[in-house]
Amino acid sequence: MSVVELAPEHCDAVVRFFSNLPEGDLTFIKEDVTDPETVRSWTTAGGRWVAVDDDGEVTGYVAVRPLPGWSDHVGEVRLAVSPSRRGQGLGRELARRALVEAVVTGLTKLVVEVVAEQTAVLALFTDLGFSGEALLVDHIRDRSGQLRDLMVLAHHVGQTWSGMDTVGIADELASQ
């Protein structure tokens, strides 16, 4: 398996990947990820990577989307991993890739939105130096209509450089 920048040849596999995610996962994705045209448009924007297995199937996706205007120093991380690959380190590898690439491109802060009850995802990002910035109570509604809390985690690159060194990201940056 390899993590590569999203390219046009991955589009069909990315649509299949998102189409095969559980309904609950799709609830919290902001874009229409099962629309082939949406996915094709991503290949020209940069800032998106996929985990591809030996058969060419996508098993994970991560994006860093720079915010506009006066927040253009901030990037939003979006991460999805196939249920069959969860708990095997793929999410961590993708999140690290996003962090490294964001720093290389000059972003100084990253944010990620996580449903408060997703403890494994919260642990993944806090282990990478993200910390809680906000808890938004009853902020999102899932597909069954239930309200859920949303946590906003942030990674301040300058303030957490020593933490990046601890998890090996500084070495990756040096090799870029």
- For residue range 63-78, list pLDDT tens digits in order: 999 999 999 999 999 9
126 vs 162, higher pLDDT: 126
The confidence band for 154, taking pLDDT boundaries of 50, 70 and 90, is very high
Report the share of the chain in percent with pLDDT over 90.
58
pLDDT for the residue numbered 123: 94
Work out the average pLDDT over 19-40.
Answer: 82
pLDDT for the residue numbered 63: 92
| CB of 137 closer than 8 Å to CB of 149 | yes
Burial of 171 (0-12, 13-18, 19+ CB in 10 A): exposed
Residue 161 has pLDDT above 60, yes or no: no
Residue 81 has pLDDT above 90, yes or no: yes
pLDDT for the residue numbered 58: 94
Strands (E) across the chain are located at 2-5, 48-52, 58-66, 74-81, 109-115, 131-141, 147-156
- Mean of the per-residue pLDDT values for the chain? 86
Residue 52 has pLDDT above 80, yes or no: yes
Residue 60 has pLDDT above 60, yes or no: yes
2-174 folds as: Aminopeptidase (3.40.630)
Work out the average pLDDT over 95-107.
Answer: 88
Residue 171 has pLDDT above 80, yes or no: no
Nearest to 99 by CA among 71, 126, 136: 126
pLDDT for the residue numbered 27: 66
